[in-house]
Amino acid sequence: MAKEQLAYDEFMKGLWRENPVFVQVLGLCPLLAVTNSAINGLAMGLASFFVLLGSSILVSLFKSYIPKQVRISCFIIIIATFVTVVDYTLAAALPVIHKELGAFIPLIVANCLILGRMEAFASRNTLRMSVADAFGMGAGFLFALVSLGAVREILGVGELFGIALFGANFEPWVIMILPPGGFITLGVMLLYFNWLEEKKNKIDKQLATEDGVN
């Protein structure tokens, strides 16, 4: 039971409390580059999710065999293997999306979020915990990509996953599908998350002092 609790905790940590984008502010390059629509964000998020999960499992299994001195190169090779799998799979199954994402699929190799999880978590924890962590962080990244892509697509072209939402008279916010829109949306979301965090801290503090009085 205790073990289960811990795994659940690791998952929620990645999805929300230490969200790779909104809290750790990692992996911004693909985030800003491909989130001009929700579907692109979803594809990128799933690709990163798969790579992260696969690499976490392998690294966690082989952690005792990987020499400390060359661990980063080993992680990179493992990650690159999964990226190649994703790259070819997407090219074969969804060529349109593969073309839209372009160079950013191969660039998942250099995503600091994935390498960071290998170094900080998978190479030091059991398989079970690593899988939970990869699920959490992958879901967190996916959540960030899709929500950013959705906001930008809704405001930028008035659609969500390609379905028109507002009818013919919609006035597109051109800036939202351009790079500045990505920065502005991300900035506003970071602001929101920081505000939530501050609010939560305030409540925690209040509860703590009330407990103290009692």
212 binds another protein (CB under 8 A): no
What are the structure tokens assigned to 26, written together?
Answer: 């990692």
* Per-residue contact flags (x/-) with another protein for residues 110 to 149, judged by CB under 8 A: ----------------------------------------
Tell me the closest approach of the beta carbon of residue 181 to another protein, in angstroms. 8
Q: Which residue has the tokens 């009330």?
A: 210
The smaller minimum CB distance to another protein, of residues 88 and 166, is found at 166
16 binds another protein (CB under 8 A): no
45 binds another protein (CB under 8 A): no
What are the structure tokens assigned to 8, written together?
Answer: 């659940």
Number of residues that bind another protein (CB under 8 A): 13
The answer to whether the CB of 15 falls within 8 A of the CB of 139 is: yes
* Per-residue contact flags (x/-) with another protein for residues 174 to 203, judged by CB under 8 A: xxx-x-x---x------x------------
CA distance 134 to 115: 12
210 binds another protein (CB under 8 A): no
Q: Tell me which of 41, 45, 158, 182 binds another protein, using CB under 8 A.
A: 158
Q: Which residue has the tokens 């899709």?
A: 146
Q: Tell me which of 107, 119, 127, 170 binds another protein, using CB under 8 A.
A: 170
At 79 the three-state DSSP class reads helix
Tell me the closest approach of the beta carbon of residue 163 to another protein, in angstroms. 16
Tell me the closest approach of the beta carbon of residue 184 to another protein, in angstroms. 7
CA distance 66 to 73: 10
What are the structure tokens assigned to 171, written together?
Answer: 């006035």
| Angular region, 167: left φ>0, alpha ψ -120 to 50, beta rest | left
DSSP state of 35: T
Q: Rg for the chain (alpha carbons), in Å?
A: 19
Residues that bind another protein (CB under 8 A): 158, 166, 169-171, 173-176, 178, 180, 184, 191
